[in-house]
Amino acid sequence: MGTMIATLKRKAAELRAELTALYYASSNPRVGFFPRFWIALALGYALSPIDLIPDFIPVLGYLDDLIIVPLFISFAVRTIPKDVMEESRERARREPVKLGKKPVAAVVIVLVWLTIAFFIARAVLDMIRR
């Protein structure tokens, strides 16, 4: 049990470090629109006080954080030039930033959810009409 908790704490620290690196990468002029889009989703979801599945629901509440945040981070990292990501990781090690929950992030995430829901509803209605 102690090993599992230590592993989870280590993974959480790695995620925080990677989010900080993404934060620094977002201000790099060599990072284009699509990487910034994924960075915004990763940071927005991670910093949003609103989750897809609320944290108070046992196990499932943290499952979305364990899947969605790393997925967004992965998409962002893959689209950022390797040298920029290495520089950003090094800066994150030298200058860690405390990234806390932000109400603005909640608004962004809710807007993303509503946009996705709109397009899904539209697609379903189009299928029904055919």
Instruction: For 43-100, write each residue's pLDDT tens digit.
Output: 888 877 777 677 677 777 777 777 888 899 999 999 999 999 999 999 999 988 877 6
Task: Calculate the alpha carbon distances from 14 to 69, 71, 93, 129 in Å.
Answer: 12, 14, 11, 48
Give the pTM: 0.70
The tally of domains found in the chain comes to 1
Domain carrying residue 123? 2-129
- 92 in helix, strand or coil? helix
Task: Indicate the residue type of 125.
Answer: L
Whether residue 105 contacts residue 44, with contact meaning beta carbons closer than 8 Å, is answered with yes
